[in-house]
């Protein structure tokens, strides 16, 4: 389920679409950065697009260089998902159901029992 949640977030981001216009392509910004500091993070354009959610940072994907990942033990996506699931199970506190929710759930269960008989 943790992996599915990650995939769903990626699909939701893709469905939103991508702008392909002069501002989004940022050809001038890219040229200036590559001729200068080579640091996109100090550009207002980059910050604006990052704050707008243009880049999806997943929790399970590996983002380090191969060498760093290799040195850290090559933890897989499945291993990170398992750790996240265990964290959620250990830390999550579910809100108790309201009386209305309890009543509705009881009605649903009773209806299901009647259908089985």
Q: At what angle are helices 2-16 and 77-91 packed, to 10 degrees?
A: 110
Q: Are residues 67 and 88 in the same domain?
A: yes
Same domain for 70 and 51: no
* Residue pointed to by tokens 């309890």: 102
Tell me which DSSP letter residue 96 carries. P
Overall domain count for the chain: 2
- pLDDT exceeds 80 at position 17: yes
Domain boundary among 42, 58, 74: 58
Interval 96-116 mean pLDDT: 94
Q: What is the pLDDT of residue 53?
A: 82
Give yes or no: residues 69 and 47 share one domain. no
Give the pLDDT of residue 58: 84
Q: Do 43 and 86 fall within a single domain?
A: no
N-terminal to C-terminal alpha carbon distance within the chain: 33
**Alpha helices per DSSP H over 55-98:** 66-71, 77-91
Same domain flag for 72 and 51: no
> In terms of domains, do 54 and 67 share one?
no
Token digits for 58? 């997943």
Domain interval for residue 103: 63-117
pLDDT band at 22 (very low <50, low <70, confident <90, very high): very high
Domain co-membership, 28 together with 73: no
Instruction: Give percent of the chain above pLDDT 90.
Output: 76
Query: Quick one: 80 and 114 in the same domain?
Result: yes
- Residue 17 sits in the same domain as residue 68: no
């Amino acid at each position: 389920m943790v992996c599915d949640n990650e995939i769903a977030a990626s699909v939701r981001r893709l469905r939103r679409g991508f702008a392909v216009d002069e501002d989004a392509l940022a050809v001038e910004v890219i040229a200036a950065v590559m001729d200068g500091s080579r640091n996109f993070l100090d550009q207002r354009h980059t910050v604006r697009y990052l704050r707008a959610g243009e880049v999806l940072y997943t929790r399970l994907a590996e983002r380090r260089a191969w060498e760093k990942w290799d040195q850290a033990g090559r933890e897989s996506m499945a291993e990170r998902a398992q750790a996240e699931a265990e964290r959620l199970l250990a830390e999550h506190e579910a809100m108790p159901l309201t009386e209305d929710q309890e009543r509705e759930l009881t009605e649903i269960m009773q209806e299901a029992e009647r259908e089985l008989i």
